[in-house]
Amino acid sequence: MNIQNYRLEPNPNVPGDWIVFGDICDNEGNLLGTFGPDGTSVFGWWVLQDAQFQRFYSNQFASIMAQEIVAGTAE
Amino acid sequence: MATYYVRTDGDNSNTGTGPATTQAWQTIGKVFASGSVVTGGDIVYIAPGTYTESINVLATSPTSKVQIIGNPTASQFPGVNAGVVKLSAFNAAGTSVTFANTYLISGTSKNYYSFSNMIFEGSHTSSVSVVEFFTSRYIQFDKCVFRTENAPGLSSGGQLRLTATASTPLDASITNCYFGPSSVIGAYLTGASQSTDTTIFSNCYFDAHTDCLPLYFLTASVVNCTFVGQTSAILQAGGGANAFLTIKNCLFKRCGTAIQGTSSVSGAQTYNRFVSCTTDVINIPTSVTSTTTGVFGVDSFESLLFGLNNLQPGTSYDNSPNKSFGNATGAPATDLYGVTWTGTSPDAGSGTYRVITSNPTNIQYNGGVERNASAITIAPGSTSQSVELYLGATGLTFATSGLAAYYVRNRAAPTPITLVAAPNPTWVSGGFAEIDSATVPGLYRLDLPDAALNAGADDVTVVVRGASGTNGAVLTIKLSAGGLTAAQTASAVLDAVASIHNNAGSIGASIQDKAGYSLSTPQSFSTTGSVGSVTGNVAGNVTGTVGGVVGNVVGNITGSVATVATPDNIIDGVWDEQRTGHTGAGSFGEKLQTNALADEMLARDLGSSLNAGTAEERTVRSALRALRNKINVGSSQMVVKKEDDTTDAWTATVTTTAVSSNVSGIDPN
């Protein structure tokens, strides 16, 4: 799977959020789908995922968070 | 161009111009210190060892290449054990050291430094890179290992950081390198948006990073690299039309995003294999030469586990889908180990299949364990004999400190061998020399003292050891006549050539086949056996003498005999043989015996031979007796005597008439 015309833009309405733009293609370049003409909000997409998915990725961030807390760089 | 040396037991007050302890520097930092004598074109060899240093490059930037060459084999350092060359944030005991600065080596506006054969072992205690050169150009790394330890959960920092000077190409080269797992960045390069930039990554293996190759504002090629377990493998950012990534012949395994460009015209990717990646390509165009099908195709320890040919995890296994997947244009000629691509085209990824021995025990560590060669056999009493011994370490000489040699005959007390230089190829007792450090490194010639091989012992064991870098070599020599001298060997070979090895077309057959041979100089031959036959003609002459033919010539001479050198001898032989050898009754030889014919004529009867030998015989002899022998004449009888004038030979009746005087007898004198 490939993404063409990909770009990220800050969500002007939600601080810290990003909007993903791009065309989703197969390996032969055939268009499979898009992120929509207005793009897809990361935060909006995130809250729609099931709990198990969110738990898996949150777990990936835990060690980074811990490191920053210890280093005093966490907000 | 000068050459300098660094070793852990050197001294920075030395000149650095020699490899010995008393010559070499002690720290790598000495090379980069302010006022360093190392300049463009120079070479610096680094001896095996751990260099726990944090180096701030303060030396004046070179204007041409300075080569910093790790020397793991210690070939440049006689007496030093082989081993890795590490610039490390850990001491030799493996304990992390806290530096004032957190990098291992860092320079700003320092160009032309080239590193090879080294390990950069960092400790991420803060978010900096292990090796970093800012606003620098022509920085090179070849056959280097980057790895970081003790850095769980760190969110930034990296293993290699290079940045270009504004409006100047970076022109960096990173080849045949391994970037070990890191929770942060692998190599983070920032260019200056220069379309002429020649920066290249080739034959590199990247193992598990969060952001593996962030390449910002950079034109670069990434060729024949392997990316495994990367959250983001190649991430391009910035640069516009002047930043272009060429990604070719690469292998991506289980990456979140394999390639991410800034726009659809920011790069090209061809001949890549994407295996189990979440997203293969973002923004950069797809290519029909790339694929997502098939398996990883890389040896995952199986050849070592199973004793198969390929002994290098991380390279393509036999008949891997990576084989010949790539394209040769712009690709390196070999893989990261210097092995020529197995297929007709380069593999995808950094390592090709390698056909080497299936026996892992054949992997020998340079300078490692003792070498006990199999026993050899030499004939007792042989002289001027040399043997080969494998000592592992290279660069040893007869004068190397600690090196000693002994021989032991039949478990008696060891006898020292005084080592001397060996003038190749001449044998000299105790001669010792490395045979060829390039082609057979670690192999040495030892000229054995003749006394070691004297008769009187069953075996002699030779030991050479004591030098740093080798545990020595042991060679047992069986003293047996089975071990042939050169003369014995030559004799055996020549004897066997004609007698055993004489198949058609062989030298032996040629020796046996005398056809077409002639002798240009006189030779003395003796044939004690028989000559079977001569089926052809003997066209020439025997101009000398033939000793004799003891047996018979049983055949015939159907042609003519051109000449006989001494015909009188033949005539004499014929006549003499008749009188002496062929004298049987009735033979011509018998008639030729002395007086034989005369006697036969005397005994011949005048008329017949009926009364020969009797008183009545009328032979020539009896007739002649009357003329020569005594005759008694009586009145009525005449008696003719034999040659003794006594014995009667024959008689005749006498008839008388009256006469005046009678003959009474005739008696010859």
Which has the minimum average pLDDT: B322-326, B615-619, B633-637?
Answer: B615-619
B151 — pLDDT class (breaks 50, 70, 90): low
- From A6, A25, A67, residue closest to B286, measured CB to CB: A25
Cα B122 to Cα A16: distance, rounded to the nearest angstrom: 33
Q: What is the DSSP annotation of B258-275?
A: EEE-SSTTSEEEES-EEE
pLDDT at A34 over 90: yes
Q: What percent of chain B clears pLDDT 70, i.e. is strictly above it?
A: 85
Tokens at B80, concatenated: 């030093």
Question: Distance of alpha carbon B107 from its chain centroid, rounded?
Answer: 49
B365 — pLDDT class (breaks 50, 70, 90): very low
B369 — pLDDT class (breaks 50, 70, 90): very low
Please tell me which of A43-52, B136-145, B291-300, B307-316 the model is most confident about, judged by mean pLDDT. Answer: B136-145
Question: Is the minimum CB–CB distance between A24 and chain B shorter than 8 Å?
Answer: no
Q: Which of the pair, B198 or B525, is modelled with greater confidence? A: B198
Cα B372 to Cα B656: distance, rounded to the nearest angstrom: 138
Task: Count other Cβ atoms within 10 Å, centred on residue B197.
Answer: 26
- Report pLDDT digits (tens) over B422-475: 887 889 999 999 998 888 888 889 999 999 999 999 899 999 988 877 778 888
- Report pLDDT digits (tens) over B253-288: 999 999 999 887 789 999 999 999 999 999 999 899
pLDDT at B485 over 70: no
**Integer distance in angstroms from the first to the last C-alpha of chain B?**
140
Task: With CB atoms and an 8 Å threshold, state whether B153 touches A1.
Answer: no
Q: Identify the sign of the CA torsion B119, B120, B122, B127.
A: negative
CB pairs below 8 Å between A and B: how many? Answer: 43
Question: What pLDDT is stored for residue B359 in this prediction?
Answer: 47
- Report pLDDT digits (tens) over B208-221: 988 899 999 999 99
Classify strands B49-52 and B85-88 as parallel, antiparallel or unpaired. parallel
- From A2, A66, A67, residue closest to B281, measured CB to CB: A2
Whether the link from the prior residue into B19 is cis, omega within 30° of 0, is no
Cα B322 to Cα B280: distance, rounded to the nearest angstrom: 17
C-alpha distance from residue B538 to each of B327, B398, B544, B558 (Å): 74, 67, 15, 14
Question: What pLDDT is stored for residue B330 in this prediction?
Answer: 94
Mutation choice for B interface testing from A3, A5, A6 by most B CBs within 10 A: A6
pLDDT at B656 over 80: no
pTM, two decimal places? 0.60
C-alpha distance from residue B447 to each of A66, B431, B459, B480 (Å): 68, 5, 17, 19
Q: What is the 3-state secondary structure (H, E, C) of B526-576?
A: CCCCCCCCCCCCCCCCCCCCCCCCCCCCCCCCCCCCCCCCCHHHHHHHHHH
Please enumerate, as own/partner, the contacts of B238-243 that have beta carbons within 8 Å and a separation of 24 or more: B238/B193, B238/B262, B239/B191, B239/B193, B239/B266, B240/B193, B241/B195, B241/B265, B242/B193, B242/B194, B242/B195, B243/B191, B243/B193, B243/B195, B243/B216, B243/B217, B243/B218, B243/B219
Task: With CB atoms and an 8 Å threshold, state whether B285 touches A3.
Answer: no
pLDDT at B290 over 50: yes
Nearest C-alpha in A relative to B261: A6
From chain B, the residues in CB contact with A66 under 8 A are: 153
Location of structure tokens 């806290």: B98
Location of structure tokens 């072992």: B121
Query: Are B77 and B7 within 8 A, CB to CB?
Result: yes
Helix, strand, coil % over all residues of chain A, rounded to 5: 35, 30, 35
Q: Nearest C-alpha of chain B: how many angstroms from A25?
A: 9
Task: Name residues 100-159 of chain B within 8 A of A (Cβ).
Answer: 152-155
From chain B, the residues in CB contact with A68 under 8 A are: 155
Question: Is the minimum CB–CB distance between A67 and chain B shorter than 8 Å?
Answer: yes
Question: Is the minimum CB–CB distance between A27 and chain B shorter than 8 Å?
Answer: yes
Mean pLDDT of chain B: 85
Question: What pLDDT is stored for residue B364 in this prediction?
Answer: 41
pLDDT at B136 over 90: yes
Q: Which amino acid, one-letter code, is at B542?
A: V
Task: With CB atoms and an 8 Å threshold, state whether A2 touches B288.
Answer: no
Cα B235 to Cα B249: distance, rounded to the nearest angstrom: 17
Q: What percent of chain B clears pLDDT 90, i.e. is strictly above it?
A: 45
Q: Which of the pair, B290 or B311, is modelled with greater confidence? A: B290
Q: Which of the pair, B373 or B562, is modelled with greater confidence? A: B562
Mean pLDDT for the stretch of residues A27-38? 88
